[in-house]
Chain A
Amino acid sequence: MEITGQLLLTVLMGAFLLGVAAFLARVEDWRSYTPLGAGGGAVGESGYGHSEKPAGLIRWFTTVDHKDIGLLYGAYATVAFVVGGLMVMLMRAELTTPETAVLGSATFYNSLLTSHGITMLFLFGTPIIAAFSNYLIPLVIGADDMAFPRINAIAFWLLPPGALLIWAGFFPLPDVIPAQTAWTMYTPLSAGVGNGNQMNVGVDLMLLGLHLTGVSATMGAINFIATIFTERAEEVTWANLDIFSWTILTQSGLILFAFPLLGSALVMLLLDRNFATTFFAVEGGGPILWQHLFWFFGHPEVYILVLPPMGIVSYVLPRFSGRKLFGFKFVVYSTLAIGVLSFGVWAHHMFATGIDPRLRASFMAVSLAIAIPSAVKTFNWITTMWNGKLRLTTPMLFCIGFVSNFIIGGVTGVFLASIPVDLVLHDTYYVVGHFHYIVMGAITFAGMAGIYYWFPLVTGRWYQRRLAKAHFWLWMIGTNVTFFAMVLLGYGGMPRRYATYLPQFATLHQIASLGAFLLLVGGIIWIYNVAVSWIEGPRVQSGDPWRLDETDLNTAEWDWFEAKRETSLAATDGGEDVTADGGQEIEDDTAE
């Protein structure tokens, strides 16, 4: 049996390698193909026209263009968001009853809980940010491409295998079950100790998948740091660097210090599980060591996820307020402050572990200090809108929703930073409500603001306005219904991570599930709107679709869009781009 298995694997592997070789031979054979010069980014005009990208799927598999990779990241994040969202809908369905009447088993609920967290944070959150930064940063800072285009591509392609490994337990593989460790993977449970089933290979696969996404994020971060430091156009000095690039730079710095640590901790855990080391065993480093290592990564991870969305909001919100961002430099410096301080607060996730009260007090002090830079940003956004000429477009609505939800999520967080409050609320739904206000209400909202704002830039088409607004309102209401109910559940003492609960919590749980249903409907509308509008939305009629010029708020990426439109109109001679009133547009453009 074992021999046959090995043989089968060998044959499959051999066939796969042959296939790869054949594919490479074909691709390499084109020879129309001029490799980039040594060192990547620093390539001048090579005189090749732009019909050079291969057609069809091969283009997407072989591209190293930052815009294509940005789109790949976006598509990937969307798929992950749908998967994670459907997982949580199953969970919310389960939680409509106090027993496990819907899913049938708490084990399956635990698997969904674990996968939902990891999927949303690592497979949706980080990649959707990478989608924006890959597409936009080179355009905004006036770079030709990323500093290391190939590393950029490698970083993306590590993600799909990572996702497959993380979800491996859900596939019908023999003897593989999904991990049930929760996204924090606390030892000793995740080390497979005890009578549970977490020694299963499904957990190893998930850890490997996480490790891959960590490697991917680190490669991306190195790339962004190098790009922002070395590839800026001459005029883009540090004083002229836009806020989104600043947040990405800070985020990349955080990734650079946080993710390798996660990778190391994961390897240690894998060694503990498979090779009988004792890093996290009681007789070795102790289970609490995992929590220290994990949260030393995990808290910066929170800011890795939230800083770039803050950057998007700081970038988009002024465009529809008719004014420049209030206190631009305050926002920049406070971003940097968050970056540094985020490494000094990790044990505030561990106040209830019996940690030495002296150390706990120190962590509380820094946790309270880190609230200031976030609050500064909030006031900057509000002041930007104050007395401005607001245009309530969909991206603007999402930005305002971000600020609103961020205030609730942030204020509930400040209370948690205080030790006495935390000891009461630790491991309750209050915590769940708090961080979902941030990750869903703030981070995802900013992501949606970005998607709608740059939709014309990427697709050259408009989305449907009414559907977009319906999406916003469903999500705004849904988010607050769901997660405020969770905050209240937490006050009532409902513990996290349970598939069952006492009957007195039923009403609030059902309200939360109702809110989640609104989120689902909004999400379906969003997917439909984006997909349909991408294919057949009305074409954008000018290079400045948001009419930013009127308020002098135009930015470099729209300038690029304008140039691209002109080039393509000139090149196709209007052939493809003619719409009903397109003829006039072309005349205008050529007349200019």
Chain B
Amino acid sequence: MDENPGVSEEYRMVSPWPLFVALGIPIAEIGILFGLVPLAVGGLLLFCGSIAGILRENEYVSSAWRGLAGVSVFVIAGGLALWYADTATASDLLIRAYSLIGTGVLLLVAGVGGDLFARDAEPGL
């Protein structure tokens, strides 16, 4: 009974991010579907922020800021796609497109800014 049983008790099994990834998705979905800008922006910020945090925790990215900047590209791309679809279809998607692009830009600024200025906040790197 040495090796495996109970091993999972013996190292730290905690991460704060999954809860917020899971909260971010529905908030963003509702916001985008119904065109509610605060929910769309807030949900996306929460979702993307948590993704960046989880990537950092996994050490898939070297800092959460860079993760943020990376994620922002996808959000901006999604926003641009909606912007294009707005002109190509009868549906009114502009407000949603702006929410996505705006959030993406915010994330990008935060990511780049954080990476440049807030490096000291991450000791040990």
A in complex with B: yes
Q: Do residues B1 and A54 form an inter-chain contact, with CB atoms below 8 A? A: no
In the complex, whether A28 has a CB less than 8 A from a CB of chain B is yes
* Known contacts A35-B59, A275-B91; A43/B36 CB under 8 A: no
- Complex CA distance for A559 and B5, rounded to whole angstroms: 8
Main secondary structure of the interface of B (DSSP, over half): helix
Q: Do residues A40 and B6 form an inter-chain contact, with CB atoms below 8 A? A: no
Q: Do residues A17 and B46 form an inter-chain contact, with CB atoms below 8 A? A: yes
Q: Do residues A150 and B8 form an inter-chain contact, with CB atoms below 8 A? A: no
Q: Do residues B58 and A144 form an inter-chain contact, with CB atoms below 8 A? A: no
Q: Do residues B33 and A138 form an inter-chain contact, with CB atoms below 8 A? A: no
In the complex, whether B30 has a CB less than 8 A from a CB of chain A is yes
**How many whole Å from A49's CB to the nearest CB in chain B?**
7
Q: Do residues A28 and B12 form an inter-chain contact, with CB atoms below 8 A? A: no
**How many whole Å from A118's CB to the nearest CB in chain B?**
16
Q: Do residues A157 and B23 form an inter-chain contact, with CB atoms below 8 A? A: yes
Contacts of A567 in B (CB 8 A): 6
Q: Do residues A150 and B15 form an inter-chain contact, with CB atoms below 8 A? A: yes
Contacts of B102 in A (CB 8 A): none
Contacts of B30 in A (CB 8 A): 165, 205, 208
In the complex, whether B7 has a CB less than 8 A from a CB of chain A is yes
Q: Do residues B19 and A13 form an inter-chain contact, with CB atoms below 8 A? A: no
Could you say which of A13, A46, A142, A157 contacts B21, with CB atoms under 8 Å apart?
Answer: A157
Q: Do residues A144 and B7 form an inter-chain contact, with CB atoms below 8 A? A: yes
Q: Do residues B4 and A208 form an inter-chain contact, with CB atoms below 8 A? A: no
Contacts of B33 in A (CB 8 A): 204, 208, 270, 274
Contacts of A275 in B (CB 8 A): 89, 91, 93
Contacts of A28 in B (CB 8 A): 16
Considering only residues 17-42 of chain B, those with a C-beta below 8 Å from chain A are 17-23, 25-27, 29-30, 33-34, 36-39, 41-42
- Complex CA distance for A209 and B38, rounded to whole angstroms: 20
- Complex CA distance for A54 and B16, rounded to whole angstroms: 11
The segment from A57-65, A191-199, A358-366 that touches chain B is A57-65
A65, closest chain B residue (CB): B13
Q: Do residues B46 and A20 form an inter-chain contact, with CB atoms below 8 A? A: yes
Q: Do residues B1 and A562 form an inter-chain contact, with CB atoms below 8 A? A: yes
In the complex, whether A585 has a CB less than 8 A from a CB of chain B is no
Q: Do residues A144 and B38 form an inter-chain contact, with CB atoms below 8 A? A: no
Interface 1/0 per residue, A183-219 and B, CB below 8 Å: 0000000000000000001001100110110010000
Contacts of A161 in B (CB 8 A): 22-23, 25-26
Q: Do residues A38 and B22 form an inter-chain contact, with CB atoms below 8 A? A: no
- Complex CA distance for A158 and B7, rounded to whole angstroms: 27
In the complex, whether A286 has a CB less than 8 A from a CB of chain B is no
In the complex, whether B79 has a CB less than 8 A from a CB of chain A is no
Q: Do residues B4 and A24 form an inter-chain contact, with CB atoms below 8 A? A: no
- Complex CA distance for A67 and B25, rounded to whole angstroms: 25
Contacts of B91 in A (CB 8 A): 275-276
**How many whole Å from A440's CB to the nearest CB in chain B?**
29
* Known contacts A13-B38, A35-B59; A560/B29 CB under 8 A: no
Considering only residues 64-121 of chain B, those with a C-beta below 8 Å from chain A are 89-91, 93
A142, closest chain B residue (CB): B4
Most buried by A among B10, B13, B15, B46: B13
Could you say which of B12, B18, B93 contacts A46, with CB atoms under 8 Å apart?
Answer: B12
**Chain B residues in the interface with A (C-beta under 8 A):** 1, 4-23, 25-27, 29-30, 33-34, 36-39, 41-42, 45-46, 53-54, 57-60, 89-91, 93
10 more CB-based (< 8 A) A-B contacts, given A6-B37, A54-B14, A563-B5: A6-B36, A10-B38, A33-B14, A46-B11, A144-B4, A150-B54, A157-B18, A158-B22, A161-B25, A208-B30
Query: Can you give 25 contacting A-B residue pairs, CB < 8 Å?
Result: A17-B45, A23-B16, A35-B12, A35-B57, A38-B59, A45-B10, A63-B14, A64-B13, A64-B14, A64-B15, A138-B8, A144-B8, A150-B17, A154-B22, A156-B18, A161-B23, A161-B25, A208-B26, A209-B26, A212-B29, A274-B33, A275-B91, A276-B91, A563-B5, A564-B5
Nearest 4 Cβ contacts at the A-B interface? A157-B22, A153-B18, A563-B1, A13-B42
